[in-house]
Structure 1
Amino acid sequence: MRSYLILGMCGLFLIQYFARLHWLEPVIIVMTLIAFAGSATKANPTARWYGIVMLIVGVTLEWGKGTGFQGISDGISMNLPLLTLVILVPLLSLPLKLGGYFSAIHLFLQGLRHHPRSLFSGITSVLFILGPILNLGSVRMVDELLKDLKLPPALLAKSYLVGFSTTMLWSPYYAAVGLVLYYLQIPVTGYMAYGIGLALLFLLIGNILFAISQSRHPLNMESEATEFTEDIVKGYRTKLLQMGIIIVVLMTTTFVLESLTHWSMLVIVSLLAIAFPLGWGVITKGWSRLIPHWIDFRDQSVPLMNNEIVLYTSAGLLGRAMQGTDFGSGIGWALTTLANQSFMLFAVCVVVTIVAVTFIGIHPMVIVTALVTQMNAEQLGTTNPILAMLLMLAWSISSVLSPVNPLNLMVSRLTGLSGLQVGLRYNGWHLLIVAVLGIGIITIIH
């Protein structure tokens, strides 16, 4: 029943985005609050208490400002576009699963198993491409495909985090990018060149560092040789090419629709997440294969969105409530003063603040929301795309480094290494170089 409530909330939000029905708005708010209450009981303790505290503080601030129920309603609906995207985006993976593309990736990576540098490049490239669509599921999927190869944990820890963290810098299908662009009101086409440029550069740096490490301390790759026939090789290469074309078409469609319609990018991605599997079912006539996956998405994936529902709902309310308060104005004043003194110092402080806060267990979305809602590019003497690059750089670094971040926790569990080993020991140099180079590039562009 809760899954129907959550999906109904997303569906009604999309209808309201276009229809603008006054009577529908309070219905959506009530559904969101019920979804929040139901998810709070099932979320992990950290997300639950941070969410409840942010909700209470947000309500208190809105009431104190005199905005009353209208202000609270506006705050609760603030992150609904983002929450809808997070919930619906996993639907994009259904045609890829059913189309045999994951099997092609398996064969592709197996063919590289005796060449550590090529394998590292292959893993990071696959995560770079699939991360935006499958989210953290891309890491689980790749790990499942590589289990039979028994690869060294060090290689997995480095490749998983280098590959996936770069998607946070550029992809409009990833929630982190969606949140920042949404609050800064930047069209995805106005940011893409910056984001994908940084992402590709950092992907290259990660591969170079691994190549240097491999030359100094070669990894022991123990796996039996498997020969592939020419037909098998040709088959998986065709599948990989098809998958690449599909992803390019999806991305291009997003850009074109945003340019032509000026709809929110979050809404466009949510609509594509629904339309893509439906279109695949029509074209391939594969409804009998698709329906069980729809049911699995409804019954398994949606109920697991507890942390996201709690955090995104409460952070949106708190971020809006802070606007116009003395505390919010103080944050804005401090950021503006620092940026006017030295933009590089401002950039360093933003990155360090976000990394430090997330390291102790606070989701990066919470601190990024608090900062971005108080930032004014004109007062800071810069532009919104520059601020977006800075925030995404900090979010990406913090996700790898923090031992309580979902990405770090997942890689730690999959590799059998501790969170500090995964973040600092095996990716410390990469993060340091990325941070220094990223801040330098952003300052120069600024």
Structure 2
Amino acid sequence: MTLAGLLTQILSFVLPIPAPLTSVLLWSSVALMWRDIPHRNQWQAGSLAVLGLVMLLLAWWIYGADIQILHILDGNIFVAAMLVGVSFIALIGRPAEQAAPPATRGITGRRGLAGTWLGVHLLGAILNLSTVFMVGDRLERRGPLTDSQLLGLNRGLSSAALWSPFFASMGVVITLAPGLSYTDLVGIGLPLALFSGLLTVFEVSRRFDVQHVAGFSLAPRSLLMPVSMASLVMLFHYVLTPDLTIVSIITLLMPSIALLANLLRGGIGLARTRIGRHIDYRLPAMRGEITLFLCAGLLTRGLSSLVDAATQGDWTLFPDFSTLPAMASYLAIVISAIAGLHPIIGVSILASMLDLDGAHQTLFGFVALASWAVGTSVGPLSGINLSLQGRYGVSGYRMMRHNLLYALIMSGLVLAGIAWLARDL
């Protein structure tokens, strides 16, 4: 069902395939895998879905809103399909390369910490969460992971949400604000991400003794894939298929390149084996992410429908989404992440209560990406911290305490970035 949802989404770029078909397939996969989702995720995703349905019902029952039944489940299907498509990028490298990332080579101290952050950041910008396990397992061969190593993994991945077009955060933001300027977001998000790395090296090395702590050495050849993938996306977006959004291009490109790479390397036999294994094991492992994004999309649709019906479309949370409202929105989402809510919930709720034009959409996009990047690093129940807890036994609340100062400093820079972006609004 998950694979069929991806394929119908890709075909819809060139054929008149109705969106409800993709949404039904993806929601069916969620229903089939629901029992295997961790209970905490079931509670959170289920609450979002129920709230969304209740608000749709209220909008129809009380205010007589015209609810398009066939499209109720369409929220965030672009993002869910993109997540599935991006997962296939793990099949582009040779099997041996997948199992053995570059060795640590005995690098320690600040240089080793910088290598860990940079390796996870650059590779994770393309491969997402799987990079944390690739690098973390490599480091763990030299002994149990220390707090400094775990912080390098945590911040290296979460800060990539500030700019990477392959992250779910960017997919959600572009879906909610299709008129934003991606180049403007990268222009401010990438420098912030680099500062995150410098701050991590400086702050963590002052708090912990990292002199003999192993780090990760990023070989130059490891940069080839992330640079190539990002270049391809930009080529399609600006030259070959300018009518397609970045989310659509990524959804189309990643599985296609993975299939082509395996066909060229080992023919139909290798391609069938590797892709079949990916479908059997990797796609079901994404059930928590897919469920959360689809349920958040249902919440957004329900809330926006209820607000529009109750106010006849004449009310927005902020009549003018400028500097102070943007700052308040960012802080609210980060605080809610610390309290245990995934940033997508705050971002989705905020988007449903705003009416944004092009320039304001870029500001909203930056608020959403920045709150996602900082919120997932410090939130005890975020995907990255839950993954570190499950894999390496570190408490999510312990990571939260270690990241509070980092979140405070990064928030100061984010607020300055908001003021700069909003200066001409």
**1:51 and 1:155 mapped to 2: Cα distance?**
32
Return the alpha-carbon distance in structure 2 between the equivalents of residues 137 and 97 of structure 1. 16
Map of 1:345-384 to 2, 5 A cutoff?
Answer: 346-378=325-357, 383-384=360-361
Shift of 1:357: 2.3
Specify the alignment match of 1:18 in structure 2. 14
Distance in 2 (CA, whole Å) between partners of 1:192 and 1:442 is: 14
CA separation of 1:438/1:332 partners in 2, compared to 1, >3 Å: closer, same or farther?
farther
- Per the normalisation by structure 2, the TM-score is 0.86
Per-residue deviation, 1:40: 2.8
Aligned counterpart, 1:158? 151
Percent identity, aligned pairs only?
19
Q: Does residue 235 of structure 2 align to residue 256 of structure 1?
A: yes
| SS in structure 1 of the partner of residue 318 of structure 2 | helix
Worse-matched range after superposition: 184-193 or 363-372: 184-193
Correspondences of 1:255-294 after superposition (within 5 Å):
255-260=234-239, 261=241, 262-285=243-266, 288-294=269-275
SS at match of 2:13: helix
AA in 1 matched with 2:415:
I
Match of 2:371 among 391, 394, 416: 394
Matches of 2:109 and 2:391, distance apart in 1: 19
Q: Which amino acid aligns with 1:428?
A: L
Aligned to 1:199: 193
1:423 is matched with which residue? 400
1:219 aligned to 2:215? Answer: no
Mark the runs of 5 or more structure 2 residues left unpaired by the alignment: none
Which residue number in structure 1 is paired with residue 410 of structure 2? 434
Summarize the Cα distance change of 1:152–1:319 in structure 2 as closer, same or farther, 3 Å threshold. Answer: closer
Give me the whole-angstrom Cα distance separating, in 1, the residues matched to 2:147 and 2:43.
Answer: 34
Could you list the per-position Cα deviations for residues 250-286 of structure 1 after superposition, in whole angstroms to 9, with x for gaps in the alignment?
A: 1111112112322021121111111221221244346
How many residues in Structure 1 have an aligned counterpart in Structure 2? Answer: 411
- Counterpart AA for 1:370: I
Shift of 1:308: 2.3
Contact kept? 1:57, 1:318, Cα under 8 Å: yes
Q: Please name the residue that 1:306 is paired with.
A: 287
More helix by share: 1
**Cα offset, 1:139, TM superposition:** 0.6
The Cα of 1:26 is off from its aligned counterpart by: 4.5
CA shift in 2, pair 1:152/1:38, >3 Å: closer
CA distance in structure 2 between the aligned counterparts of 1:117 and 1:311, rounded to whole angstroms: 37
Assess if the C-alpha contact under 8 Å between 1:93 and 1:133 holds in 2: no
Q: CA RMSD in A?
A: 2.9
**1:410 alignment partner in structure 2:** 387
The separation in 2 between residues aligned to 1:160 and 1:146, in whole angstroms, is 11
Q: Work out which of the residue numbers 318, 328, 353 in structure 2 matches 1:335.
A: 318
Q: Report the equivalent of 2:84.
A: 87
For the residue of structure 1 that corresponds to 2:244, the secondary structure is: coil
1:147, CA displacement in angstroms? Answer: 1.6
Change (3 A) 1:244 1:369: same
Partner Cα distance (1:121, 1:287) in 2: 41
**1: distance between equivalents of 2:31 and 2:77?**
15
Structure 1 residues 119 and 323, CA gap change in structure 2 (3 angstroms)? same
Moved more, 184-193 or 390-399: 184-193
Render the CA deviation track for 1:351-400: whole Å, top value 9, x for unaligned: 33212323333222122111123223459xx6322221122111112212
Corresponding residue to 1:7 among 3, 6, 9:
3
Matched, 1:28 2:4: no
- 2:137 corresponds to 1:144: yes
State the partner residue of 1:177: 170
- Choose 1 or 2 for highest CA Rg: 1
Relative to 1, partners in 2 of residues 1:38 and 1:146: Cα closer, same or farther, differing over 3 Å? same
Task: State the alpha-carbon separation in 1 of the partners of residues 102 and 256 from structure 2.
Answer: 24
Q: 1:231: which partner in 2?
A: none
Residue among 276, 279, 283 paired with 1:295? 276
Report if the CA contact (8 A) 2:55-2:302 is conserved.
yes
The 8 Å contact of residues 150 and 222 in structure 1, kept in 2 or not, is answered as no
Is 328-337 or 413-422 further displaced after alignment? 328-337
1:223-271: CA deviations, max 9, x gaps? 8xxxxxxxxxxxx98xx43332332121111112112322021121111
What amino acid is the match of 1:81? F
Would the alpha carbon gap of residues 203 and 412 (structure 1) be closer, same or farther in structure 2, given more than 3 Å must change? Answer: same
SS in 1 for 2:165: coil
Q: Structure 1 residues 13 and 444, CA, compared in 2 at 3 Å: closer, same or farther?
A: closer
CA contact (8 A) 1:187 1:265 kept: no
- Out of 121, 130, 136, the residue aligned to residue 128 of structure 1 is 121
Closer, same or farther in 2 for the Cα pair 1:288/1:241, shift >3 Å? farther
- CA displacement 1:36-59 (0-9 Å, x = unmatched): 322333322233233334334433
1:110 and 2:105 equivalent? yes
User: One-letter code of the match for 1:91?
Assistant: F
Letter matched to residue 76 of structure 2: N
| Structure 1 residue 167 corresponds to structure 2 residue 160 | yes
Alpha-carbon distance in 2 for matches of 1:267, 1:124 = 29
CA–CA separation in structure 2 for the residues paired with 1:254 and 1:306: 26
Q: Structure 1: state its 5+ residue gaps.
A: 224-235
The structure-2 alpha-carbon separation of the partners of 1:198 and 1:332, relative to structure 1 and needing over 3 Å to count, comes to farther
- Partner Cα distance (2:226, 2:405) in 1: 31
* Residues 174, 247 of structure 2: 8 Å contact kept: no
Residue 224 of structure 2: aligned partner = 245
Q: Which amino acid aligns with 1:201?
A: F
User: Aligned with 2:212: secondary structure?
Assistant: coil
Once the two structures are TM-superposed, the CA of residue 439 in structure 1 deviates from its matched residue by 1.0
Deviates more, 1:296-305 or 1:53-62: 53-62
Task: Give the 3-state SS of the residue equivalent to 1:221 in structure 2.
Answer: coil
Work out the CA distance in 1 between the residues paired with 2:131 and 2:314.
36
Say if 1:101 and 1:243, in contact at 8 Å, map to a contact too: no
Q: Which amino acid aligns with 2:91?
A: L
Q: Hey, what does 1:229 align to over in structure 2? A: none
